[in-house]
Every structure is written in C-alpha cells, then in structure tokens.
Chain A
Amino acid sequence: MTIEAKFHIDRGDFVLDVDVTLPFQGVTSLFGPSGCGKTTLLRAIAGLERHRDGFLKVDDMIWQDAKCFVPPHQRPLGYVFQEASLFTHLTVQGNLEYGFKRIPDTERKISLENAIELLGIEHLLDRKSDKLSGGERQRVAIARALAVSPGILLMDEPLAALDQASKQEILPYLESLHDELEIPVIYVSHTLEEIGRLSDHLVLLEAGRVVAMGPINEMLTRLDLSLIHGNEATAVIDAVVAEYDSLYNLTHLDFGDNAGPSHRLTVAHQALEPGSRVRLRLAARDVSLTLERQSGTSILNIIPATVNEIIGEEAAKVTVRLMAGNIPILSRITKKSAVELDLKPGKQVYAQVKSVVMIR
C-alpha cells in the first residue's frame, strides 16, 4: 500500500531529484517553498508531464517505468488544480458529468449525488462557471475530481488562489473528505496551517530534493527541521473523544499510542460523540513545564512527559521537545527556566498546557 516515485527531472536551472516511497493512505502533504519542485512532482505523478527515466508505482499498478508510460487519462486518479479551471462552455452539472460519464458503471464508487452533497453544491448545478465565486468554483472542481471515483486524489495548492474567507469556506469540506472517503490524497501546499489541519504525513522538499518525511506530528516537532521556528512552534495531536461533562460543558479527550499509557486533555464546549476523532493544536508557547505535578492551579491540562531534546535558537528562549508516551509535543520556555529546572534529555517533567485548540 505505497506509492513508489522516482524521478530525475533536469530543466537546466532547476533539477528535481526524488526517490520516495509515500504511504498510499491518508493525506500526504508535499511541503516546501515555491520553486522546490512540489508541483512538478505532483504533475509527474499524474502523468501530465512526461519525463524519461522515471519510475512510478501506485499501489500495485505500474504507471511509468523504462518500458511503459500510462497516459494521464488512463490513470485512475483525480486532480484538483490551483485554479479551479472549470470548463467555461459547460454548466456546473456539465462539468461534474464530464468525468463521471467517462467512468464505467462498475468502477463507480462515488455517485454524482455523493460528490455534490459532500461539497455542498446542490444549489449551483444549473449555473455557468463564471457566475460562481472563487470558493464555489473550487468546490465544484473538487466534486468533479471526486466524481471519477479516483483511486488517488492529487491536489495542487487548491486553496492558494483563494482569499481568506473562501479558504475557511473550503477547509471543512476538505476535512470531511478525509473523514468520509478512504481515498489516499497527495496534497501540495506551502501553508503549514493547512497542512497541520489536513495531513497525516508530510514530505519536506527543498530545491528539488526530499529533505525529510514522516508522520505529521513527528515532522512538526522535529527540532532539526526548518518547519516551524520560535513562537510559531506548534504540535498537532490526534485524539479521541472520551466523554462529555455536561455539568461543566467540558469534553475529555484521550490520546496516545495503542500500546502505551493514554493521556487526557480537556477542552471547553465541543459536545462531540464519544469515539469521534479530533485533531488538536498545542502551541509551544502555551506549554509550560514543572518538575512536580502542580496542585492548586487553574490549569486543567497537565501531562506527564519526558524531555527529549532542547534547542536554543535565540538568546532568551529555548524550545523543548517532550514525549508524552510516544507522542511528541513542544514547549517554549526561557533559557533561565531551562537552567533552573535542570532540563536535559530523559528528565521527567509535567507539561502544563494553557490552551488547546481543536482544529479538526
């Protein structure tokens, strides 16, 4: 259940040289600065650009090797471009049907109604594409790609061309795709906020090369990578709703690996069904450390953890990577505190989390 991609693309002033194995499940983000080659890699995976000497195997299908090149229209994929690129000569309905009617009945796993409902575009079907807002257009483009029942969905910065309001309009739909469909997604973006909300895996590209890759929470908390620095440092944690405390309007959430001990976090409101999966964001600057469990504090979220790594990027502050079981979180404290608490790798501490934001 993997995607093996090996490409060497030389354009003179730009060289993409990758040899990666990506998971064929969940959302995998290709992240990096503009010009790092993430879109080129995505287009090569789609077959929109043909490069010699490439190798591409998706699940058990060879899409490209020394002997063969499967043209894009024969690859069971869906592709969402940065600009919605709707067909202007067709209505919304016509756009949705374009791919759908080219799929044999037996391969249809997503009905047109499903796709329309998932993206909430029932009211737009009779419109011409030029009568839609940017956000609506991109929703139609996503539904159109889903209507071919793709085995994999490739998305090239689908939110980058949109204003902030339209982004916020679309993000919930992207999240619901993740939750309701089992289609692997490769998502290109240069915005960490989007990636933190949507992805399960992250591939970091720089100047045409893969610098690092791994699960999202691990990648975001790796201190040796240039992903998040200083005050912006953030960890994301996937958790499960344990119970809702109706007396105080609080929701208790459990996280942790299957084997190790489970940890609990509490957030206000959010009356969710027990068992629902949520994603939490813990900003490093909201996490403080104590050597003993504090009593008589207003802070509800206190997690036992082990110091894993410390780096001081600037004069007064350090970033501490902690392991709560095997889940990494970050804490940002003053250098003075780090010295006074005598923090070093392996030391047991308690992380006091001032605020937890549910981002999904």
Chain B
Amino acid sequence: MIFSDADFTALMITLKLAALSTLILLGFGTPFAWWMARSRWRFKFLLEAVVALPLVLPPTVLGFYLLMTLGPYGPLGALMKSLGGRPLAFTFTGLVFGSVIYSLPFVVQPLQDAFTAIGRRPLEVAATLRASPLDRFFTVAVPMARSGFLTATVLGFAHTVGEFGVVLMIGGNLPGETQVVSIAIYDHVEGLEYGQAHWLSGGLLLASFLMLVAVYAINRRFTVVKP
C-alpha cells in the first residue's frame, strides 16, 4: 500500500465530499440554471454576479464568512443548536455546505450556458409536437444540454476536490471527519514527509488531468453535431 491509513481516509473523505457536493449542486443548480437561462427578469444580472462571487473571492474570505455563519454564534449555527443539533462548523456536513457554495459557479455557469445555447426554437417545436413544459425540459432541454451537464459535473467535482482555503477555515483539520487530501498534503509538507506528499499530489494531478481530458474529448464529439 502506497498510502498510509490516514492518507487513505483523507482520500475517501475527499471523494465523498466532492461526490455529495456535486450531486447537491446538480440537484438544485439545474432548475436554477434553467430559470437563469430563460428568465427575462431585469435584475437577473445581480444574481449572476452573486453566483460568480466564489470565482474571484479568496477562499479564505468565503471561509471566514461561512465560519461566522455556521459557528455557534452565527445565525445557522444558532439555529442548529436551537434544534438540538450542533453547529456545522468543523463537521463534515459543514464542509458539504461550504463546498456547495464554493463550487456553485462551476456547476451553474456551464448549465446556464448550455441551456441558453439551445435557444427557444427546439422547445417551441416540442410544444407544437404535444410536449408539456416538463416533458420538453426532460426530453429536449436536458439531452441537448448534455455537454453542459458533463462539464458541470466534472468541474464541480474537480473543483471541490481541489478546495483548500474554505476547508481550512470551516473544517479545521480533523482526521477522519474533515481532513481532506489537500490538507493532508499540506500536513505532510509541514512535517517534511515529501515522499507521501509526492504520492498524494501526483495522484491528484493525474486524476484531475484525466477528468479534464475526458470532458474535452467527449465535448468535442458533442460539438461536432451541428443543428
């Protein structure tokens, strides 16, 4: 075994976190992106700016505000306490919460772009072929936006795997609970364990590269199909 038990646990937590965050993001990001693509609301640009914030903010700033919100004295932390739970800061659930916000633009933007690119026409055609609005969404919009779904899934997943600052701020570094690979690497380097840092870093590098290669290869095949 190349990885130590602690490293392996960190890897598992990372994958679990990324998978869960991506699923949650796809779940509510899809209808949200659909609405953003179709809406003519005049203040839509405000929402677009909010969604894009995690792209430009230093993760520590985002992490800091999340800590304030999720901690025992923050609004969400207090709510959790009053419901008999514990504050979300320094828990895996808190990490999922933070990751969802941190990776939001990476899922919503590709979906919104893909839905916008479809245009109104295919949906109008489907309407004249007896498809109800929900039917049109699932049988026309989703399949036609499939490259957007692929991009959103891979970017959302990979970006969550790569997060560091937010995790450090709200997750702490609890092995088995909130210690993810990026932090484990940091720990190894701090402890001058370069060998283990190499293995983890190299593994992450290769996995990320392969995921992106897969996206671009598959999207290339999709985009060859012209209307």
Contact = CB atoms under 8 A, between A and B. Distances in A.
Q: Do A and B bind each other?
A: yes
Interface of A: 46, 48, 71-74, 77-79, 81, 83, 85-89, 98-99, 102-103, 128-130, 144-145, 148
A297 B187 CA distance: 109
A254 B129 CA distance: 41
A103 B127 contact: no
A71 B127 contact: yes
Nearest to B124: A48
Given A85-B121, A87-B122, A98-B139, A48 B127 contact: yes
Interface in B112-128: 121-122, 124-128
A95 to B, nearest CB: 9
Given A88-B144, A88-B225, A130-B226, A78 B122 contact: no
Interface of B is mostly: helix
What are the nearest 9 A-B pairs in CB distance? A99-B129, A79-B128, A102-B130, A72-B127, A89-B143, A73-B127, A88-B227, A85-B125, A130-B226
Contacts of A73: 126-133, 135-136
B125 to A, nearest CB: 5
Contacts of A46: 128
Interface in B133-192: 133, 135-136, 139-140, 143-144, 146
B137 to A, nearest CB: 12
Contact of A102 (B121, B131, B226, B227): B131
B192 to A, nearest CB: 54
Given A81-B121, A85-B122, A98-B139, A130 B129 contact: no
Interface of B: 121-122, 124-133, 135-136, 139-140, 143-144, 146, 225-227
Contact of A129 (B126, B140, B227): B227
Contacts of B130: 73-74, 99, 102-103, 148
Contacts of B132: 73
Contacts of B225: 88-89, 128, 130
Contacts of A102: 129-131, 135
